[in-house]
């Protein structure tokens, strides 16, 4: 139950942030997206939902790309 609550909190927050017109807020979406991923991994692994588990790894990679592009990569 705890994992489901964390998935909902972090997931909704991440999606909400992606839709903000304020770029300073929008750039935090990847943090919240990544914070939810361990709960997704736990939930899908522990219930042996292998298709969802693989999808979770894809989402983790996508949120990582957002983190890289928004916070780490040098600005051009």
Both tokens of residue 70? 């928004």
In contact, 40 and 59? CB cutoff 8 Å: yes
Please give the pLDDT value at position 43.
97
For residue 73, pLDDT beyond 90? no
Both tokens of residue 52? 């969802």
Give tens-digit pLDDT for 4-57.
999 999 999 999 999 999 999 999 999 999 999 999 999 999 999 999 999 999
Per-residue pLDDT, averaged over 59-75, amounts to 93
- Report the number of distinct structural domains present in the chain: 1
Please give the pLDDT value at position 74.
77
CB-CB neighbours of 7 under 10 Å = 17
Please give the pLDDT value at position 67.
96
In terms of residue numbers, what domain contains 48?
2-72
Please give the pLDDT value at position 75.
79
pTM exceeds cut of 0.75? yes
């Amino acid at each position: 139950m705890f994992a489901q609550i964390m998935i909902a909190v972090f997931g909704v927050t991440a999606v909400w942030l992606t839709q903000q017109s304020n770029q300073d807020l929008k750039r935090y979406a990847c943090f919240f997206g990544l914070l939810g991923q361990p709960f997704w991994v736990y939930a899908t692994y522990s219930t042996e939902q292998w298709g969802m588990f693989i999808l979770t790894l894809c989402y983790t990679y996508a949120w990582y790309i957002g983190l890289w592009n928004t916070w780490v990569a040098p600005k051009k």
